[in-house]
Structure 1
Amino acid sequence: MNTMKKIALVSMLGIAFAASAAALKTDPAKSTVSATFKQMNVPIESKFKKYTVAIDYDAAKPDASKATVEVETASLDMGDAEYNKEVAKKEWFNSAQFPKATFVSSAIKSAGAGKLTVTGKLTIKGKTTDITFPLTVKTDGGKQVFDGALPIKRLAYNIGEGEWKDTSMVADDVTIKFHVVAQ
């Protein structure tokens, strides 16, 4: 192989590596996804045990970034096995028919130092809505740390059907919180 071909090949490999270097690997041991809501006016935060987060992020070009989150709805841990079974039922998440809630970004924009505005589609229980929320990002020990809170209305996604539509027992307001550590 002549020198020019070798240089071209090395350059192409370098470009391919640089393009793939923006895909970050999530550290599940240090990351969390949770839902906070009020039951009888008492705040409750419950974590999802199973989820995947795919982030393609470049701090120099946040507009080119992408994110996808998939959460297994039956993995919400309410701290009690019976409650966990209840929220997986048809009236709540209907996890048998809709095993995953998903978020897919359509735009990520810089909103100042360490801040991003994320837009995309959130799908829960077969219902998809367009959402926008703020996100913070910082570097800690060579890793990217993303923190955000997304307020939603549970009834917009049919979470809590039948007698559970009554918001005096379980409030309509829910905040999905996430802390994602990736490298």
Structure 2
Amino acid sequence: MTTLRPERYSALAIILHWAIALLLLFQIGLGWALEDLPKGAVQFAGYQFHKSVGITILLLSVARLAVRLFKSRPAPVPDGKAQMLLASAVHVLLYAVMIVGPLTGWIIVSTAKVRLQTMLFGKVPWPDLPVGQGLHEPAEVLHGALGTVGIALIALHVAGALYHHLKREYVIGRMLPGVIRSHSAIGIAGLLAIALGVGALICGLFLSFPASKAPAAAPSDTASAVASDVASEEPAEVATAEPVVAESEAAATTMASAWKLEKGGRLGFSAEYSGEAISGSFSRWDAMIVFDPEDLPGSSIRATIDLASVESGDSQRDDMLRSDSFFGVGAHPTAQFVSTNIREAGAGRYVANGTLSLHGQRKPLALRFALKIDGDKASANGSATLQRLAFGVGEGEWSATDQLKDAVSVNFSLKAVRKAP
């Protein structure tokens, strides 16, 4: 027999209690694992999901606090003064973690240098908080510490419940369905709850976020096949930071040679935001180049860029660029440039006219480059200018050009060696 009258919390309080407990443990595990996720689309998806779970915990916690304040609940369990004070402190601090944790995350997102629209589970837009930039750093510090604090408080909370259970006091049973009444059944249910909590924490730690894949390509569509390689789970050379080049089938019937790019190449971009230049680059891209100055009709350039590999020196800005408002890497993981003709524009200078496919749009693009060939070695650098809005890059508030200008400059530099016939 238990030593306390079996008073219980309301059904709504019980549901909210266990839902928040599992979500909170899952969220802590996920938060610890985020920095170890692969950079790019995988980590971006992880952070977006983390934000969605955090807002869910915040909403449920506010509902739980309202239930606690406005619905009757069992009286505190009589105990020593120190034990009762500790129990009250743990409860108050747990509510603080449940509410302050998501709030600090919300502040971090709302005060980022370049704000990214929060979409709850990719569907429902969530507004930013009207707070100042000065709160960003304190929110980051506090948010980072709350995971460890939360685990410590949960451990104390569980220890207190087990302490009362071992004293055969009806404490755990007050937060369980009424059908669970006997002391042994309550003990089993409590152990099961602990196991589920540990499972939620582990699930958050090891949850995987697969990168988006490009659509399957027909064998004859070389450019699309390259895109599929970029997004595959086991990419070959394109998964590294150095681009690679392959032969074109047309090379066999032309003078133009296939070239293999060496390490150290760069594909970058620059744009103007609030009067300041913003620059970045892509760490994963692939190119198929066949070229000879004496056979320009037989020369060609095909390039595919993994948009999730964007790096601009600001993680929040990179997340924003990968979002649906800009590159939309979930639906359009790659950009492709395919030349239609290459013409000479002066001594050692050329223009490759072609088509750029980006964000579901296909538009003409002229790529200007300077090339120097010394035997079987070559070096090149070039640039192009595109209008981002023509490709739908920068939607909603970012479609205005008063802060973020429409023109974007793309630039590259590379060295290559001629492939053996």
**Which TM-score bucket, shorter chain as reference?**
0.7 to 0.9
What are the Cα deviations for residues 90-145 of structure 1, in whole angstroms up to 9, with x where unaligned?
Answer: 00100010000100000011222201121110111010011223221112584212
Size of the aligned set, in residue pairs, is 167
Q: Is the strand fraction higher in 1 or 2? A: 1
CA contact (8 A) 1:41 1:171 kept: no
Tell me which residue corresponds to 1:58. Answer: 292
Tell me which residue corresponds to 2:396. Answer: 162
CA contact (8 A) 1:26 1:54 kept: no
Tell me which residue corresponds to 1:9. Answer: none
Instruction: State the distance in 2 between where 1:30 and 1:154 align.
Output: 27
* Relative contact order, higher structure (CA 8 A, sep 6+): 1
What does residue range 31-110 of structure 1 map to in structure 2 within 5 Å? Answer: 31-110=265-344
Instruction: State the distance in 2 between where 1:133 and 1:80 align.
Output: 28
Q: 2:383 aligns with which of 139, 149, 152?
A: 149
CA contact (8 A) 1:138 1:145 kept: yes
What does residue range 116-155 of structure 1 map to in structure 2 within 5 Å? Answer: 116-139=350-373, 142-155=376-389
What are the Cα deviations for residues 4-55 of structure 1, in whole angstroms up to 9, with x where unaligned?
Answer: xxxxxxxxxxxx989697011112x221111110111111210111101111
Query: Which structure has the bigger radius of gyration?
Result: 2
CA contact (8 A) 2:327 2:359 kept: yes
What is the RMSD of the two structures over their aligned residues, measured on CA atoms?
A: 2.0
User: TM-score, length-normalised on structure 2?
Assistant: 0.38
Instruction: State the distance in 1 between where 2:353 and 2:361 align.
Output: 17
> What is the aligned-residue identity percentage?
27
CA contact (8 A) 1:63 1:110 kept: no
CA contact (8 A) 1:103 1:122 kept: yes
The letter of the residue matching 1:33 is L
Unmatched runs of 5 consecutive residues or more in structure 1: 1-15
Higher mean C-alpha displacement, 141-150 vs 122-131 = 141-150
Instruction: State the distance in 2 between where 1:132 and 1:66 align.
Output: 13
Unmatched runs of 5 consecutive residues or more in structure 2: 1-250
